[in-house]
Amino acid sequence: MRKGPVWICLILLLGLCVPEFSGGEPIELSDWSAMNSDSQANETDDCPGVNGTSTHDRHGCIDSDGDGYSDPDETWNVSMGADVFPDRPDAWSDLDGDLFADQPNLDITDDCPTRYGTSRSVLFGCSDMDFDWIPDVLDTDIDGDGISNELEIASSGALFQYDPMDANSYPIDSDYDTIPDAVDEDDDNDFWPDTVELDRGSDPLDAEQTPFNRYFGVTTGFFYYGGFTTDDKYDAEALELSLSGLMEIVTEELVIPFLLIPIYFYVFFSRRQRFEVLKNEISEAKTDKELFKLESNINKLIENRKIKTLHGLILRNTIEEQEGKIRASISVEEE
């Protein structure tokens, strides 16, 4: 039996005569037993026990969506480079871990790829402090405390600053209408401005008390709009017919004239008294020198409004009459 040439040919067939595999180096005979159906040798196959097609993060591992990145498993997770989106061939990575893809122009593309975020309105994957899906950069109430960023800032003062990014920092809102008391014209939401309530003596923080019911505990007025239309809500443009309005006129608009009455009487009587005193002094004057001093004093009093101008004219006439009397008496003595 001639067996020699047969074994030589078999060796050549399995070893030296085997062509290169997939463009790589010739595969040694010992490697054939380590090959699986994905055509990767054990030396380059990261998953030798499975038939996989991944080529980017690992070679020869399961790649469900065919994008080149292997599906995560017990030994290989997304932090190591596994496919974050194993069912989407157009997405595979998520740098900030918010489950929005780093790949552009997708319906799940991350608009803030380097910062974790949960926003889903207008911008995806951006910071959303109050978890309302609106990104903070577009949210009018970033901290979700019910008070807008603008009103929190407007309510701040020199003593205290409210932080629109801190849900525990918010201004007082007595009527819960989302308008802080510091900028709310009607803190108790009873349709009466705080300034009017304070002016008329009702509590601006008590919705049950208004200027119309603070007297006797019943409604004592209304606003008239014409015809048969009335309302008990404050309206500066309507005609108010009420006890509260009447009391305001009596106690505020007329109080100043009433308080000035004593002053008027004092000024009137003091001027009158000063006039009578001067008139008597002129009548008792015996020389021109005394009259001259009195006339100078009268001019100053008129200038300073200490006596009426009319009284001043009367006193000057009295001085002239007294001068005539003094001269007449001097002439009689000389004769």
Q: pLDDT, tens digit, for every residue of 215-230?
A: 888 999 999 998 899 9
Report the domain count for the chain. 3
Measured distance CA(121)–CA(135) in Å, rounded: 7
pLDDT range class, residue 334, cuts 50, 70, 90:
low
Residue 98: pLDDT over 50: yes
Residue 43: pLDDT over 80: no
pLDDT range class, residue 304, cuts 50, 70, 90:
confident
* Domain closes at, from 89, 104, 131: 89
Residue 261 shares a structural domain with residue 328: yes
Residue 200 shares a structural domain with residue 260: no
Residue 248 shares a structural domain with residue 282: no
pLDDT range class, residue 15, cuts 50, 70, 90:
very low
Residue 33: pLDDT over 50: no
Residue 299: pLDDT over 50: yes
Measured distance CA(290)–CA(319) in Å, rounded: 10
Residue 3's pLDDT is what?
Answer: 46
Tokens of 47: 């998953």
pLDDT average, residue stretch 180-209: 94
Residue 178's pLDDT is what?
Answer: 94
Residue 191's pLDDT is what?
Answer: 94
Average model confidence (pLDDT) across the chain: 85
In a domain, 330, yes or no: yes
C-beta separation of 219 from 212 below 8 A: yes
Residue 238 shares a structural domain with residue 280: no
Residue 233 shares a structural domain with residue 299: no
pTM above 0.75, yes or no: no
φ/ψ region of 246 (left if φ > 0, alpha if ψ in -120 to 50, else beta) reads alpha
Residue 110: pLDDT over 70: yes
Residue 36's pLDDT is what?
Answer: 58
In a domain, 271, yes or no: yes
* Domain closes at, from 49, 71, 89: 89
Residue 323's pLDDT is what?
Answer: 85
- Percent of the chain scoring above 70 in pLDDT: 84
Residue 34's pLDDT is what?
Answer: 47
Its domain, for residue 214, covers: 194-253
Which residues 6+ apart lie within 8 Å of 318 measured at CB? 279, 282, 283
Which is more confident, 290 or 77? 77
In a domain, 85, yes or no: yes
In a domain, 316, yes or no: yes
Residue 99: pLDDT over 90: yes
Q: Sign (positive/negative) of CA torsion 78, 82, 84, 87?
A: negative
Which of 115-129, 205-219, 260-274 is the most confident on average?
115-129
Residue 29's pLDDT is what?
Answer: 46
The 10 Å Cβ neighbour count of residue 119 is 25
Residue 285 shares a structural domain with residue 325: yes
pLDDT average, residue stretch 311-319: 86
Long-range contacts of 45-53 (CB under 8 A, 24+ apart): 46/70
pLDDT range class, residue 35, cuts 50, 70, 90:
low
pLDDT range class, residue 30, cuts 50, 70, 90:
very low
